[in-house]
Structure 1
Amino acid sequence: MSALARLLGDLSEALQQSRPQILPALRVPAGASARARLDIYCEGYFARLCETLRADYPAFALQLGEDFPALALAYSRTHPSRHPDLRHFGARFPDFLASGAIGPARRWRVQLARLERACSEAFDAADRVPLDADGLGALLAEGSAELGLVLHPSVRRLRLSWNVAALRADALQGRLLSPTRETPADWLVWRQGQRLHLRRLDGEEARLVRRLERGWSVSGLLMRIWRLHPSSAAGTQAFARQMEAWVRTGLVCAVPDTDSLPVR
């Protein structure tokens, strides 16, 4: 290992683990303290990480209040930043909370953190052209049963049993809402253009979306909906309504045929 690589490694350990091996290598003016100067640098480094985590989890930080910096410090000690892009720093924060590394976590806090992480991932996800109204019209007119459907790459599904969506919405307006239990349900987070969507799914749509996560043919989706209705005409109308709702919000994408699906 070169002297420079060793020096940089010592600096990294000093910042992330408060190890003082680097102190003899620091050059400071006469009468100045190397330890004090390193402490200032360390404090600035962790303050930046704390603000990054706060930006990624604003509702969580608002709920935790003055206790958030200490939690952010504990997280950064356990999961040091390893990527030059700070967007990746907070990726493991929900799992860190759920692991009990700092003691039993309140379930609503874990769910709130998972929701905020899903929002970040949805916003940063790869883009793909969603199925549009013209494409849907052609699909319905031509009976393209072998057309494949997949969810937009930004879609994230969560199972929530607390009012964390409302907590997040109020926090973005600077308001603090009390956590309350709700009936467990699936929620979707996704991006349409630069707009983030968040909504709760009813039971049947949740089952359809879970199946769409693996890809589905139009014929498979239609047959599923038919089975839930007393006649094929009613099922076809329900299928059209569901597809129109998904298309309107950019939720689904088309693939040329069912051979393109990850799972048929």
Structure 2
Amino acid sequence: MNSLQAIQQQMLQAVLAERAHLPFTIRGDAIADADSRLAVYRHGYRIRLRDALKNEFAGLRSMAEQRFQRMLDKYVAAHPSEHYNIRWYGAGLAAFLDYARPWREQPQWAEMARLDWAISTAFDAEDEACIGMVELSSVPSDTWPGLLLSLQQNLHILAAHYNIEAFRRAADRGDKRPRLRRFEQARQILVWRKAMSVHYRLLEEDEWQVLSAVIQGEPFASLCERMANLHDETSATPRMVMLLQGWLEAGLIRGWSFG
């Protein structure tokens, strides 16, 4: 390791540590002593980490209000950045809120953080082509039972017992913060990106069951069978058609194959 690399490594360790020996390269003067100079770097580094998290977790900021700053301070103290790109620093925040006191006593915090992070990562995901009804209509009708749909890789489905989507939507629109609600049964939230816009919405129970079957690689005949088990004969087929049209219009489907 050359002298420059050694100096950089010493400075890195000193900035990351809460208490550390001063690198020999830091010198005090009449304006500030060596400890004060190092404190400026330590403080500034942590401020930049917190600012990055504030931008990524808009829903959590709205939900937590005055507690948000303390959450971030505790996370920064417990989890030094391990990636050269600060953009990925928030990847562990939801897990931190799952286990750290006092946040783990209120699971809405971790749920909200997961939705915020899913929205953030969907926006940064690789661009993927999507198909529409015109492309899918070219599939011969006798091959549809074995049709396998491929979903966008930027798609996320999150289970939520709280109305976290309402907090995120209020934050996105600049609306008044909603009241927290808890539901006995977890609801499923779909997150995806179409072009340059990230979308999120609640899934109805039948759509969730069929979409999860798509994710598991089940053929179209199996999707229709699942829908038939959820609805009567007269409504199952129209509902399946409506869902498929909606997925195509939303840009959820990137292609198809045959099993």
TM-score of the superposition, structure 2-length normalised? 0.88
Classify the secondary structure of the residue corresponding to 1:256.
strand
Measure how far apart 1:71 and its partner are. 2.4
List gaps (5 residues or longer) in structure 1: 259-264
| Aligned equivalents of 1:235, 1:45: Cα separation in 2 | 56
Residues 63 and 234 (structure 1 numbering): CA distance in 2 closer, same or farther, change over 3 Å?
closer
The number of equivalent residue pairs is: 257
Deviation at 1:55?
Answer: 0.4
Change (3 A) 1:140 1:185: farther
Pairing 1:237-248 to 2, within 5 Å after superposition:
237-248=238-249
- Determine the structure 2 residue equivalent to 1:200: 202
Greater mean deviation of Cα atoms: 132-141 or 191-200: 132-141
In structure 1, distance between residues paired with 2:242 and 2:125: 27
Distance 1:227 1:103, change over 3 A: closer
Alpha-carbon distance change, 142 to 22 in structure 1, aligned in 2, over 3 angstroms: farther
Matched-pair contact (CA < 8 Å) for 1:150–1:216:
no
Q: Give the drift of 1:144.
A: 3.2
Mapped to 1, the partners of 2:54 and 2:122 lie a distance apart of 18
Deviation at 1:150, TM superposition (A): 2.3
**Alpha-carbon distance in structure 2 between the residues aligned to 1:33 and 1:68:** 33
Aligned counterpart, 2:225: 223
- CA shift, 1:31, in A, is 5.8
Change (3 A) 1:224 1:139: farther
Aligned position for 1:137: 137
Q: What is the CA distance between 1:254 and its match in structure 2?
A: 2.0
The worse-fitting range, judged by mean Cα deviation, of 134-143 and 191-200 is: 134-143
Query: Which of 204-213 and 143-152 deviates more?
Result: 143-152
Letter in 2 for 1:204: D
Which AA in structure 1 matches 2:243? Q
Higher mean Cα deviation, 24-33 or 41-50? 24-33
Tell whether 2:108 aligns with 1:108: yes
Q: Secondary structure at the match of 2:144?
A: coil
Output the CA distance in 2 between the equivalents of 1:112 and 1:102. Answer: 16
Matched residue SS, 1:59: helix
The letter for the 1-side match of 2:180 is P
Cα 1:79–1:205, aligned 2, differ >3 Å: closer, same or farther? same
Q: Distance in 2 between matches of 1:237 and 1:174?
A: 36
Query: CA separation in 2, counterparts of 1:12 and 1:174?
Result: 41
Counterpart of 1:63, as a letter, is M
CA displacement at 1:78 relative to structure 2: 1.9
Deviation at 1:143, TM superposition (A): 4.5
Answer whether contact 1:97 1:105 (CA < 8 A) is retained: no
What residue is the counterpart of 1:249 in the other structure? 250
Counterpart amino acid of residue 167 in structure 2: L
TM-superposed deviation, 1:102: 5.2
Segments of 5+ residues of structure 2 without an aligned counterpart are none
RMSD: 2.4
**Matched residue of 2:22: which SS?**
helix
Task: Give the residue type in structure 1 aligned to 2:195.
Answer: G
The structural deviation recorded for 1:19 is 3.0
Aligned to 2:54: 54
Residues 11 and 23 in structure 2, CA contact (< 8 A), matched pair in contact too: no
Query: Conserved in 2, the CA contact under 8 Å of 1:28 and 1:34?
Result: yes
Cα distance, 1:159 vs. partner?
0.8
C-alpha spacing 1:110/1:157, structure 2 compared with 1 (3 Å): same
1:66 to 1:218, Cα distance in 2 relative to 1, 3 A: same
